[in-house]
Amino acid sequence: KNQVEQSPQSLIILEGKNCTLQCNYTVSPFSNLRWYKQDTGRGPVSLTIMTFSENTKSNGRYTATLDADTKQSSLHITASQLSDSASYICVVSAGLNNDMRFGAGTRLTVKP
Amino acid sequence: DGGITQSPKYLFRKEGQNVTLSCEQNLNHDAMYWYRQDPGQGLRLIYYSQIVNDFQKGDIAEGYSVSREKKESFPLTVTSAQKNPTAFYLCASSKSVQWFTEAFFGQGTRLTVV
């Protein structure tokens, strides 16, 4: 069973609308949680990284939240743009090493 | 410009052949990683290297081999022993393997068995 579960698997929204992507994890011991954006056929690009002491972090129109008690994170995208169409991957690191556990991603499509 | 370069972008392999995927970084990072990405699944770790001349197996190392003779380079060989090699392969690097270091990814190589 994957230790990082993302939902929904896919999402279609209209340009200008907001959306929220979810990530639940069971990885332990928790070190940090990252959100990556991956365009089709390209490598992932980092959006945010949060440690257990942080519960929110923003990067432009992207805002990530973390609840280390419930082991949940969300990525909120505000005023979506066509260029936001991509897969969004939640990555949780365990222990003291960069032992990254990847979710399967949420495929977001923004339509005009 | 700085970053991680993977080549080729597309690679086709015949049954029974070995192929080597290139990964080069000029970020002066000590740690490098190889991942495999399949549709509907999260990235899975094949091999990683913390330092030159050292590498460790990841979760799915069978059928793959690596070398780390130079800090900048971490090539991955997909051998004929890998029964299902068709996938998207991603190379990454980080300053170290410590938990707080950022990982940067290359643009990937799509390998197809023909």
Residue A84 φ then ψ, to 5°: -80, -10
pLDDT surpasses 90 at A52: no
Average pLDDT, chain B: 93
User: Is B112 exposed, middle or buried (CB count within 10 Å of its CB: 0-12, 13-18, 19+)?
Assistant: exposed
CA–CA dist B88, B107 (Å, integer):
10
pLDDT tens per residue, range B30-47: 999 999 999 988 999 999
Q: A43 in contact with B at a CB cutoff of 8 Å?
A: yes
pLDDT surpasses 90 at B15: no
Q: Kindly report the length of chain B.
A: 114
**Average confidence (pLDDT) over A51-78:** 95
Give me the residue from A2, A93, A104 closest to B99, CB to CB. Answer: A93
> Which of B9, B43, B91, B112 would best serve as a mutation to test chain A binding (most A beta carbons within 10 A)?
B43
CA–CA dist A49, A30 (Å, integer):
13
B66-87: b (≥16 Cβ within 10 Å) or e:
bebeebbebbbebeeebeebeb
**Average confidence (pLDDT) over B49-75:** 96
- Chain B contacts of A99, Cβ < 8 Å? 99
* Partner residues linked to A93 by β-bridges: A32, A100
Provide the percentage of residues in chain A whose pLDDT is more than 90: 83
What pLDDT score does B92 carry? 96
Give me the residue from A4, A34, A46 closest to B42, CB to CB. Answer: A4
Residue of higher predicted confidence among A21 and B97: A21
- The region of weakest confidence among A77-81, A87-91, B67-71, B99-103 is B99-103
8 Å CB contact of B105 and A101: no
- The region of weakest confidence among A7-16, B15-24, B78-87, B98-107 is B98-107
Residue of higher predicted confidence among A61 and A96: A61
Q: What's at A87, amino acid-wise?
A: S
| Continuous segment of H or E residues that includes residue B31 | strand B31-37
What pLDDT score does B2 carry? 65
Return the closest-CA partner of residue A62 out of A91, A23, A21, A107: A21
> Which of B27, B37, B47, B101 would best serve as a mutation to test chain A binding (most A beta carbons within 10 A)?
B37
Residue of higher predicted confidence among B26 and B1: B26
Return the closest-CA partner of residue A32 out of A95, A74, A106, A89: A95
